[in-house]
Amino acid sequence: MKSELTIETLRVEAGEFAKIESCYAGPEVYAITDGKAIGTYIEHKFQDYLSTKYTYERGSSALGIDFPGLAVDMKVTRVTQPQSSCPFRSASQKIYGLGYALLVFVYEKQEDSDTQTGRMNILHTIFVEASRTADYQTTSGLRRIIQNQGNIDDVLAFFEERRLPVEEIAARQLAEEVLANPPSIGYLTISNALQWRLQYTRAIDNAGDIEGVFRIR
């Protein structure tokens, strides 16, 4: 009988999977340099690992987040440049978060040309709660404005300075929301683009020391 997957067991199993995968050397990723292909390989392998033990709603990168029932998306990224992309929904994601949590595997790929095998050494496994998935500079800047008795004009000027991708009317509504409901500090770096570009260095550096940012491995 399989158990139902929870966020707690997902985090535990992510740590176990990272240990197992870091010891495995095989031909599957040998000589592959495409980060997207490597990420898809790890994501599918972890999903297959979980499905032998748990029942859960399985998503995909094509259909949306990887664990829709838990509101968690999985990201796999190389340690030399820990970043990935995600769909742009609204400018408020940069202030209030993506709307779901992130499970991030950060790897270093090692290869053996004699055996023609590759090994995915997973150096960091972190879990970022949804409340911490906003942009650090944006959220910390807005909180400073509020602490300094800033008003709506100050917030709007900050939006313009940060080039927040939002129309004028929506910007005013968002500024009013910020003053009424100050955001939590986010620990991602989110770059403006047609798709958000998420960077994880700050989350990796602070994992385990900040509430809502967990270091699993």
In tens digits, the chain (217 residues) has pLDDT values of: 899 999 999 999 999 999 999 999 999 999 998 989 999 999 999 999 999 999 999 886 656 899 999 999 999 999 999 999 999 999 999 999 999 999 999 999 999 999 999 999 999 999 999 999 999 999 999 999 999 999 999 999 999 999 999 999 999 999 999 999 999 999 999 998 778 999 999 999 999 999 999 999 8
Its pTM stands at 0.94
Residue ranges and CATH numbers for the domains of the chain are: 3-85+100-132+191-215 (3.40.210), 136-180 (no CATH)
Cα distances (angstroms) measured from residue 217 to each of 11, 20, 126, 172, 212? 10, 12, 7, 42, 15
Q: Angle, to 10 degrees, between the axis of helix 136-147 and the axis of helix 168-180? A: 60
